[in-house]
Amino acid sequence: MTSHIMPTYGRLPITFERGEGAWLFDQNNNRYLDAVSGVAVCSLGHAHPAVHQAICKQSEKLLHTSNLYNIAVQEQLADKLIEKSGMDNVFFCNSGAEANEAAIKLARKYGHEQGIENPAIIVMEKSFHGRTLATLSATGNAKIQQGFAPLVEGFIRVPYNDVKAIEQAVEQHKNVVAVLVEPIQGEGGVNVPADDYLNQIRSLCDRHHLLMMLDEIQTGVGRTGRFLAFQHNGILPDVCTLAKALGNGVPIGACLARGKAAKVFTAGNHGSTFGGNPLACSAALAVLATLDAENLIEQAAQKGDAICSAFKEQLRGNTHVVDIRHKGMMIGIELDSPCAELVQAALQNNLLINVTSEKTIRLLPPLIINDQQIAQLVETLSTLIVKHTDTPHES
């Protein structure tokens, strides 16, 4: 049978029919342990009753009215996000790329207001910010940009985890208005920077009057053991973008701003038909309430530590394991050779994992994963890694 879907994805040969917590079931009712969570989206697991109930109840009343009118659940969600983040206001959209588009537009307008005609944003090597034209231009991955020239201008790229490189770029280019960075690079290989990296960027941005813009689309909403990853550093950015886990599968994105950045957009500057609609906002409100009610963010920190210690124990002495790193439940196991085939091998063992940046196994389990499931994840994957690294392969 030919598919009529554009072939933009390399898909695994499996179709899931339903989910329950950390489990997914295929069409033959075979059970798989999900350690990817739809790429950091379903942090509460699949078919969480709180999200289910919230969207059912909302759909009985109202799905959409547009932003021509006030939307009460959107106001409530904004209040909650502000309370939890320490930011000042929010623009709602439908995806991560759109949240970053809002941030990029905000930074440019901020620059223009200061008389900078050609505002530039510093971005990082190996970064990922999305697939729209502006966000793929900001992304530090030649493969993602290949074939889509001319790219959007106004981005200056420097190495990740290198504050001096940012400083040099700022001194060299008089038109820099913002720094856009992921607190931990996800697609780029689960790259965890130095503990004080964000603090250093904060003080650099203060010294040079730049907007510090954090892409927390993957790290946010509890994933790293804090509601937002920057909360590990005791700082506040000027702009912060969210999406992925915010709706636990219902599409929603958000661009949060603070202080001078919160005053940049005025009526008519930006918009979205669906952004912040009642359905998506009611799902997100349920997600935030459930994270608190089930104490899941604190658990993300503890379970993440437990998972990594267990892998370190199981893989101790394996010289092909270069590094095991994590913050909360954002976990990377870097091998010394490409390991994309481990995804297939894991699938055959009823386990869903991801490999990114060729050599790094990325685990983003749902925050509700239990001890038994953690044990199964560590046992199954460690065995596969040992097998993989024992087998000679081309490098």
> What residues act catalytically?
128, 215, 244
If one asks whether residue 218 binds ligand PLP (CB under 6 A), the answer comes out as: yes
Q: Residue 333 is inside which H or E element, if any?
A: strand 330-335
CB of 24 to ligand PLP, least distance (A): 20
If one asks whether residue 123 binds ligand PLP (CB under 6 A), the answer comes out as: no
Answer for which of 19, 140, 186, 278 binds ligand PLP (CB under 6 A) is 186
CB of 224 to ligand PLP, least distance (A): 12
Residue 155: strand pairing partners: 121
Report the distance separating Cα 319 and Cα 217, nearest Å.
Answer: 33
Report the distance separating Cα 86 and Cα 351, nearest Å.
Answer: 38
Of 344, 327, 381, 66, the closest CA to residue 218 belongs to: 327
CB 387 within 8 A of CB 55: no
Of 338, 310, 306, the closest CA to residue 322 belongs to: 338
If one asks whether residue 243 binds ligand PLP (CB under 6 A), the answer comes out as: yes
If one asks whether residue 346 binds ligand PLP (CB under 6 A), the answer comes out as: no
Answer for which of 55, 73, 90, 97 binds ligand PLP (CB under 6 A) is 97
- Please give the angle made by the CA atoms of 300, 303 and 306, to the nearest 5 degrees: 145
- Residues in 76-95 at the binding interface with ligand PLP, rule: CB under 6 A: 95
CB of 279 to ligand PLP, least distance (A): 17
Write the DSSP string, 183-196: SSBSTTT-B---TT
If one asks whether residue 128 binds ligand PLP (CB under 6 A), the answer comes out as: yes
CB 363 within 8 A of CB 331: yes
Report the distance separating Cα 309 and Cα 311, nearest Å.
Answer: 5
Binding track over 136-175 against ligand PLP, x by CB under 6 A: ----------------------------------------
Answer for which of 34, 215, 238, 334 binds ligand PLP (CB under 6 A) is 215
If one asks whether residue 129 binds ligand PLP (CB under 6 A), the answer comes out as: yes
If one asks whether residue 217 binds ligand PLP (CB under 6 A), the answer comes out as: yes
**Contacts to ligand PLP by CB under 6 A:** 95-97, 100, 128-130, 182, 186-187, 215, 217-218, 243-244
